Chain A
Amino acid sequence: MRLTLRVWRQAGPDEDGRLVDYAVDDVSPDMSFLEMLDVLNERLIMEGEEPIAFDHDCREGICGMCGMMINGVAHGPERATTTCQLHMRHFADGDVVVIEPWRARAFPVIKDLVVDRGAFDRIIEAGGYITAPTGSAPDAHAIPVPKPDADKAFEAAACIGCGACVAACPNGSGMLFTAAKATHLGLLPQGQPERYSRAVEMVAAHDALDFGGCTNTGECAVACPKGIPLESIARLNRDVLRATVTGAHEPR
């Protein structure tokens, strides 16, 4: 297969970027998208050019490090698939593939396709945890958790923090990420004591970190490689609303 890649090149955070065309020959359908970039990078190095910087690590779809806009779609054309798990058999000979970094004010570009997603860590630091210092735990069977709740909590906890939701959102909102964690912890009995303060503080952090507001367009849930459902946002809204109306939110 022969492809034309149109890749966003940006030397540094404060530099101007532009799309640069690269012709790539001998693309095997068994290659992953990132392996195709590896091959291109090897060639660029030998030609004396700077290789394309992109984030990646586990390459098995779980660490959440990789992610790029492929023809305007976060993680590319396959549903429920991270960029590292996308294989070239989904492209056709002669395709032009436009590759851009996630674009959001909260995710500034560091270089080429690499962005800084530290804002996600700030949201978790604002309250995305259960306060349970090591050693203080009761026996694991002390509190039974109904299986449906545990399963639903797991579904939300499957978020890999890749940022595709923000990248895909027309508003640049990070509500799906925020809601996934609030839902995971808010559904478990262990998470109840901090449930409302967690919701309020995580949303406050989200808003203060230059993410856009949610208008329920649903693009995030479609882009999410782990299928985090949109209803988690409703759940988060419900908790925030209840905290605001009843004053259940005690600032920590």
Chain B
Amino acid sequence: MAVTGGAMFLFVVGHMAGNLKVLFGPEAFNEHPRWLRGIGEGLLGYGGFVWIARVGLLLCLVLHMTAAIQLARRAAAARPARYQRRGPVRGSYAARTMRWGGVIIALFLVYHLMDLTAGWLNPVGDLEHPYRNVTADFRHWYVTLAYTVAIVTLGFHIRHGLWSALQSLGASNARRQRVLKGIALGVAVLICAGFLAVPFSVLTGLVK
């Protein structure tokens, strides 16, 4: 979980950075995918890197979900009889929402790929002009809402996931624990803010 989550976390950070190019106008934003596809062109051919990354990420995703399902099944097996009266969450809410959060993120991912990668669900659907696709999307309030929900969920997921990964890999200790939790929270907030900057820039007319 920690390793695959970590890989996907790095992708999310890169993705967010790329998204922010939207603030620099259509040229900068439309240039970004071309630059990505051009990485290692001599060796891999145009777009080769992107395909390798996609395969890698898909593999991570499958492993991550498999592990999550295994843990969930183990948890269910470990408590066959449930409590009649469930207590309040005393640990962390982020930790409690990992599983349903993961499901929401996965569903969003499917939509997101059909919308902006394949363009099937996009109001414009012009793969050569991602900038137009994005701005067209976020003019619809429901798209923005779905996007926001997904990103906030992702934020929670990262908030617990990042810290939990460090804990699972044994990097945490008493002195560092508070700091690491703070860092995880900070990173999660930054990532949320970075991703949400795009739709809200569109909504507020900052990006046209």
Chain A residues packing against B (C-beta within 8 Å): 6, 8, 19, 69, 71-74, 98, 100, 103-106, 109, 152, 168, 170-173, 210-223, 229-231, 233-239, 241-242
A212 & B77 in contact (Cβ 8 Å cutoff):
yes
Least distance between A21 CB and chain B CB atoms (Å): 12
Asked if B42 CB lies within 8 Å of chain A CBs, one says no
Asked if B149 CB lies within 8 Å of chain A CBs, one says no
A229 & B174 in contact (Cβ 8 Å cutoff):
yes
Closest to A216 in B: B164
A73 & B95 in contact (Cβ 8 Å cutoff):
no
B95 & A212 in contact (Cβ 8 Å cutoff):
no
24 contacts between A and B (CB under 8 A): A6-B85, A19-B84, A71-B85, A71-B87, A103-B83, A105-B79, A106-B78, A170-B96, A172-B79, A212-B71, A213-B75, A216-B160, A217-B95, A217-B96, A219-B91, A221-B91, A222-B90, A230-B167, A231-B177, A235-B173, A237-B167, A237-B170, A238-B169, A238-B171
Least distance between A78 CB and chain B CB atoms (Å): 12
A72 & B87 in contact (Cβ 8 Å cutoff):
yes
| Majority DSSP secondary structure for residues of A touching B | mixed
Closest to A73 in B: B87
Quick one: CB contact mask for B20-35 with A, threshold 8 Å, 1 for yes?
A: 0000000000000000
Chain B residues bordering chain A, tally (CB within 8 A): 36
B171 & A215 in contact (Cβ 8 Å cutoff):
no
Among B164-184, those with CB < 8 Å from A are 164, 166-174, 177
List A contacts of B170 (CB < 8 A). 234-239, 241-242
A72 & B78 in contact (Cβ 8 Å cutoff):
no
B75, B85, B167, B174: the one contacting A170 at CB < 8 Å is B75
Least distance between A87 CB and chain B CB atoms (Å): 20
B84, B169, B173: the one contacting A231 at CB < 8 Å is B173
Least distance between A153 CB and chain B CB atoms (Å): 13
List B contacts of A173 (CB < 8 A). 75, 78
Least distance between B161 CB and chain A CB atoms (Å): 9
Whether A171 touches B75, Cβ cut-off 8 Å, given contacts A217-B92, A223-B90, A241-B170, is yes
Closest to B95 in A: A217
B87 & A69 in contact (Cβ 8 Å cutoff):
yes
B75 & A69 in contact (Cβ 8 Å cutoff):
no
Least distance between B100 CB and chain A CB atoms (Å): 12
A171 & B74 in contact (Cβ 8 Å cutoff):
yes
Among B71-125, those with CB < 8 Å from A are 71, 74-75, 77-92, 95-96, 98
A172 & B83 in contact (Cβ 8 Å cutoff):
no
B90 & A210 in contact (Cβ 8 Å cutoff):
no
List B contacts of A218 (CB < 8 A). 91-92, 95
A216 & B168 in contact (Cβ 8 Å cutoff):
yes
List A contacts of B82 (CB < 8 A). 103
B90 & A212 in contact (Cβ 8 Å cutoff):
no
List B contacts of A98 (CB < 8 A). 84-85
B70, B78, B92: the one contacting A105 at CB < 8 Å is B78
Least distance between A180 CB and chain B CB atoms (Å): 14
Asked if B195 CB lies within 8 Å of chain A CBs, one says no
Closest to A242 in B: B170
